[in-house]
């Protein structure tokens, strides 16, 4: 697999990597929980968790939490620490 900084999603982002788009979405809401689905929509990355791992390797402090809805569905959230 290509390193994150070399991946480009041709349809969205005007040549910006999925990692860059996820980082921008998290920076726009520093300290706030952001739904994984929002990060997916912002970046086009189906493997948001993998791009988050790449961003952590670059030194970003990103937390993760899951919430289980009453329907039994689990929702994932991420936040960038200041």
Confidence at 10, pLDDT banded by 50, 70, 90: very low
| pLDDT recorded at residue 36 | 95
Q: CA distances (Å), 21 to each of 18, 41, 43, 53, 59, in order?
A: 5, 10, 5, 14, 16
The DSSP secondary-structure symbol of 71 reads T
- Indicate the SS3 state at residue 35: strand
- Decide which of 2 and 49 is more confident: 49
Q: Mean pLDDT over all residues of the chain?
A: 86
The model's pTM is 0.77
| pLDDT recorded at residue 42 | 92
For range 44-62, the mean pLDDT? 93
């Amino acid at each position: 697999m290509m390193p994150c900084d070399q991946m480009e999603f041709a349809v969205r982002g005007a040549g910006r990597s999925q990692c860059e788009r996820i980082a921008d979405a998290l920076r726009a809401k520093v300290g706030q929980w952001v739904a994984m689905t929002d990060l997916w929509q912002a970046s086009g990355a189906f493997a948001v968790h993998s791009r988050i791992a790449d961003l952590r390797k670059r030194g970003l402090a990103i937390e993760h939490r899951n919430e289980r809805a009453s329907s039994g569905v689990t929702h994932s959230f991420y936040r960038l620490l200041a």
